[in-house]
Structure 1
Amino acid sequence: MHTRAKGNVAEERGCDFLRLRGYRIIDRNVYNRFGEIDIIALKDNVIHFVEVKSAQSYEQAVGNITCAKLQKLNRTIQTYLQKKRLDLAYCIDALIVTDEAIDHIENITF
């Protein structure tokens, strides 16, 4: 399976995971000039911008969440919020997807 196809499967698993936990998926694969947001979900009036990382191991997936990646994601989020004229609390989350499990890391800071 190609890398993008694996990413699509991981994102789909991630959306199912979030829905089962009461999140409402409001957007996916949002692109702008700064980058991409994998999943945008809403729960308890908080927008969760979710970065999905998949790999064979947890450590490998987590290692792909770098400070530079988070800074780029933050610029992408700010552009999205302005374009949509949204004024809600938000946070950045990560879903670490491996063959065995999905781990939800909430409110990542950099």
Structure 2
Amino acid sequence: MSRVKGNFAETRVCEYLISEGFVIVERNFYSRFGEIDIIASRNGILHFIEVKSGKNFDPVYAVTPSKLSKIIKTVDYFFLKTGIDTDYQIDAVIVKSGELVHLENITAD
């Protein structure tokens, strides 16, 4: 996905999250391990959100175990860098054919 398409999808997801009561904390947090697309807060919980979009394939399949591993390492780095100590979860928002699907807590057993 091009950076322009990615930014468009992330902006749509931010608008959706705000409408659902989230506060956007940061976008595009980078570490040497990877990137977190959106960090948002709601009800005292930080949500680290991966945005995946696509037209000719189901973008949910782009959230691979390898990608999740990179996200988890980046989340750990975020907490180390900021010194924040709070509850959190990792979510994904899938954008396909104009529809948004919010998958919450994708690392839960």
| Structures share fold, TM-score greater than 0.5 | yes
Count of paired positions: 108
Q: Structure 2: how far apart are the matches of 1:66 and 1:50? A: 14
- Superposition pairs of residues 83-94 of structure 1, within 5 angstroms: 83-94=81-92
Q: Structure 1: how far apart are the matches of 2:91 and 2:55? A: 20
Q: Structure 1: how far apart are the matches of 2:70 and 2:63? A: 11
Identity of aligned residues (%): 44
Q: Structure 2: how far apart are the matches of 1:87 and 1:105? A: 23
- Please, what TM-score do these two structures have when normalized by structure 1? 0.93
Paired residue for 1:29? 28
Aligned partner letter, 1:67 = P
1:47 aligns with 2:46: yes
Paired residue for 1:102? 100
Q: How big is the shift at 1:75?
A: 0.2
Where does structure 2 lack aligned partners over 5 or more consecutive residues? none
Where does structure 1 lack aligned partners over 5 or more consecutive residues? none
- Please, what TM-score do these two structures have when normalized by structure 2? 0.94
Deviations 1:71-106 (A, max 9, x none): 110000000011100110000000001232100000
